[in-house]
């Protein structure tokens, strides 16, 4: 029977289980904290960009710049709106990529936990089987032993 040794959580080392080596995919607490702070800042940047965009659009619509013809101020406001849209798209995409990476890491960790559960279940079954065999042999009566 092969020995089982697990590495520390999130160390990036590999774990050995029933003779096979699998890389550790469980994220460390510091990686989760970094992801949380990144997502928080990304949401805050997205919120600020949205507020700036709304203010620029309100100013553009309030001035009637689009209906009177292009003025330099209207063009500048349109450029600001486009840059705010780009910033919002960037923050949304980067946040989504971070969430996808976290989901992928969680899926890998879930698979690793399921594998370890299977190994544990097999070992418990084997232990119960061997204990039944020991009990059966201990209780076996023959004429020579009587």
From first to last of its 146 residues, what are the pLDDT tens digits of the chain?
334 444 333 444 444 444 444 445 566 777 777 777 887 887 787 788 778 778 877 777 776 544 455 677 778 777 877 887 888 888 888 888 988 888 888 888 898 999 999 999 999 999 999 999 999 988 887 777 66
Residue 145 has a pLDDT of 64
- Determine the Cα–Cα distance for residues 132 and 126; give it in Å rounded to an integer: 10
- Determine the Cα–Cα distance for residues 4 and 63; give it in Å rounded to an integer: 72
Tell me the CA distances in angstroms from 116 to 3, 125, 140, one per residue in order: 13, 14, 36
Residue 88 has a pLDDT of 81
Residue 15 has a pLDDT of 45
Tokens representing residue 95 in the block: 């946040």
Per-residue pLDDT tens over the stretch 93-105: 888 898 888 888 8
* Helix, coil or strand: residue 2: coil
What DSSP designation does 11 have? Answer: S
> Model's pTM, two decimal places?
0.47
Residue 12 has a pLDDT of 43
Tell me the CA distances in angstroms from 134 to 2, 26, 38, 145, 146, one per residue in order: 21, 39, 57, 17, 19
């Amino acid at each position: 029977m092969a020995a089982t040794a697990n590495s520390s959580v999130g160390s990036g080392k590999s774990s050995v289980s029933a003779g096979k080596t699998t890389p550790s995919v469980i994220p460390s607490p510091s990686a989760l904290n970094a992801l949380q702070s990144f997502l928080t800042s990304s949401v805050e940047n997205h919120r600020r960009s949205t507020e700036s965009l709304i203010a620029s659009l309100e100013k553009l619509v309030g001035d009637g710049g689009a209906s009177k013809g292009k003025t330099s101020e209207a063009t500048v406001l349109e450029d600001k709106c486009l840059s705010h849209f780009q910033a919002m798209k960037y923050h949304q995409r980067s946040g989504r990529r971070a969430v996808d990476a976290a989901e992928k890491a969680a899926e890998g960790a879930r698979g690793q936990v399921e594998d370890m559960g299977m190994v544990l279940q097999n070992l418990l079954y084997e232990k119960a089987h061997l204990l039944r065999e020991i009990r059966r042999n201990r209780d076996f009566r023959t004429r020579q032993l009587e």
